[in-house]
Amino acid sequence: GNRYTGLIGAYGDRLPLTPGARPISLGEGNTPLIRLENLPVARDRDIELYVKYEGLNPTASFKDRGMTVAVTQAVAEGSEAIICASTGNTSASAAAYAARAGIKAFVLIPDGKIAMGKLAQAIMHGAEVLQIRGNFDDGMRIVKEMAEQAPVSLVNSVNPYRLQGQKTAAFEICEALGAAPDYHCLPVGNAGNITAYWMGYSEMVLSPGQAGTQACGFCGGDCQFHQGVGGKRPVMLGYQASGSAPFLRGGPVSHPETLATAIRIGAPQSWDYARTASRESGGWFDEFSDEAILDAQWQLASHEGIFCEPASVVSVAGALRDIDNGQIPAGSRVVCTLTGHGLKDPDVAQRHAESAVSTVDASGAAVREAILGKMG
Ligand code: F0G
């Protein structure tokens, strides 16, 4: 039959896994690419604006793409435990895939700065949750040490299998559109995902024959996975929260802050790769205040019916700003990745939503009056 069985089923031939590895999958990937129809900027400027809704993965973020591949490989190599540092989503995903594989997960999270939904996931999937008195960057330093000193496999995006899995989102987009888009917009935190997309687009678009002239930057263009469908790669646009914007400051930020806690990161691990992707593609980085992020989250949810977490929506905020100021020209095809579901972090959304809850008497008359009042 043709039951969808996840990324390894769909793209195993383009993933460098140990042959015969047992896939650890929850049916991740194959997420919708939704064209935005109601946001005025896109409509007026003749822009084809899409969102890749990664919040519809099994644990509700894009991390599952990388985790299926990283955990599959870890198990194939005989690993009995995985470890990661996380602002929340990686820990939720690691916990779920470890549960699926029947191995242990250790997750280090920053003290008090992770969204409730993500913490609940890690706990429910049976992970050992270690809340550290420090931030994500501290956690990253420690888990890298642990991977050397303890019998645990590191599944942060410094593990190359993570990026291999995440590159498949670019494959799906090219397949859905018949080509790469002109621009691809992403939130940037630890900078793994922008690296993975650039790798995926490079593999889709560059042919092995182009290796000498236009190396993809990761394999030198000679890897066996290049597909060679032709066309060109997108311009890669990376957006950050102003309080956690090392790519805008030109170096690490020592006390990152933002209510978009998923991207509260000051020292991105894939710094060089992300800079390469941006430079090679002719892209740029930009930043948004927390207030602008919440406003964009509300716009997208209330005008398009798509609820994503605050960190995700900087991709759309960025696209809208750059369309509006003409840096993305009319007629362009633009894809924004929505990295995580809005239900991950209901507290932040509820506090800032503009729709109010009205309390009325439990009578037809009271509800009728309320309806007529709201219809204006
Ligand atoms: N959006 C969301 C919802 C995320 O959870 C993350 C990263 C990013 C964007 C940024 O992606 O790190 O590849 O640049 N979350 C990691 C975590 C750090 O621990 O869950 P990136």
**Shared-domain flag, residues 279 and 178:** yes
Residue 308: give the domain boundaries. Answer: 7-60+162-352
**Shared-domain flag, residues 51 and 135:** no
DSSP assignment letter at 125: T
Buried b (16+ CB within 10 A) or exposed e, 46-71: ebebbbbbbbebbbbbbbbbbbbbbb
ipTM above 0.90, yes or no: yes
**Shared-domain flag, residues 293 and 170:** yes
CA-to-CA distance for 115 and 72, rounded, in angstroms?
27
**Shared-domain flag, residues 198 and 282:** yes
Confirm whether residue 88 is marked as ligand binding: no
Confirm whether residue 189 is marked as ligand binding: yes
Query: Which of 87, 113, 240, 244 gets mutated to test ligand 1 (max ligand atoms within 8 A of its CB)?
Result: 87
Q: For residue 305, what are the contacts with CB-CB under 8 A and spacing of at least 6?
A: none
CA-to-CA distance for 232 and 229, rounded, in angstroms?
9
Question: Is residue 93 lining ligand 1, measured as CB closer than 6 Å?
Answer: no
CA-to-CA distance for 126 and 153, rounded, in angstroms?
17
Q: Cβ–Cβ contacts within 10 Å for residue 361, how many?
A: 10
C-alpha 135 to ligand 1 mean position (Å): 14
**Element (DSSP H or E) covering residue 371:** helix 364-375
Question: Is residue 312 lining ligand 1, measured as CB closer than 6 Å?
Answer: yes
**Shared-domain flag, residues 179 and 74:** no
Atom of ligand 1 nearest to the CA of 193: 13
Whole-number pLDDT of residue 350? 80
On whether residue 364 sits in a domain, the answer given is no
**Shared-domain flag, residues 200 and 333:** yes
Atom of ligand 1 nearest to the CA of 188: 14
CA-to-CA distance for 118 and 129, rounded, in angstroms?
11
Reference 137, options 87, 92, 80, 79; nearest CA is 87
Question: Is residue 89 lining ligand 1, measured as CB closer than 6 Å?
Answer: yes
**Shared-domain flag, residues 125 and 151:** yes
**Shared-domain flag, residues 233 and 313:** yes
Q: What is the CATH number of the domain that holds 212?
A: 3.40.50.1100
Tokens standing for residue 264: 């509260």
CA-to-CA distance for 83 and 350, rounded, in angstroms?
32
Question: Is residue 168 lining ligand 1, measured as CB closer than 6 Å?
Answer: no
CA-to-CA distance for 49 and 46, rounded, in angstroms?
9
On whether residue 137 sits in a domain, the answer given is yes
Domain count, the chain: 2
What is the Cα gyration radius of the chain? 21
The protein residue with its alpha carbon nearest to ligand 1, atom 19, reads 86
Question: Is residue 117 lining ligand 1, measured as CB closer than 6 Å?
Answer: no
Question: Is residue 258 lining ligand 1, measured as CB closer than 6 Å?
Answer: no
Give SS3 for 350: helix
Whole-number pLDDT of residue 195? 97
> Hey, which residues does 167 pair with through a beta bridge?
none
CA-to-CA distance for 56 and 133, rounded, in angstroms?
32
**Shared-domain flag, residues 226 and 326:** yes
**CA separation, residue 261 to residues 285, 293, 332 (Å):** 19, 12, 31
The protein residue with its alpha carbon nearest to ligand 1, atom 6, reads 262
**Shared-domain flag, residues 196 and 231:** yes
**Shared-domain flag, residues 205 and 265:** yes
**For each of the chain's 376 residues, which pLDDT tens digit applies?**
789 999 999 999 889 999 999 999 999 999 999 999 999 887 778 999 999 999 999 999 999 999 999 999 999 999 999 999 999 999 999 999 999 999 999 999 999 889 999 999 999 999 999 999 999 999 999 999 999 999 999 999 999 999 999 999 999 999 999 899 999 999 999 999 999 999 999 988 876 555 433 334 455 555 555 666 678 999 999 999 999 999 999 999 999 999 999 999 999 999 999 999 999 999 999 999 999 999 999 999 999 999 999 999 999 999 999 999 999 999 999 999 999 999 999 888 887 777 778 899 999 999 999 999 999 7
**Shared-domain flag, residues 69 and 49:** no
262 and 347 in contact (C-beta within 8 Å)? Answer: no
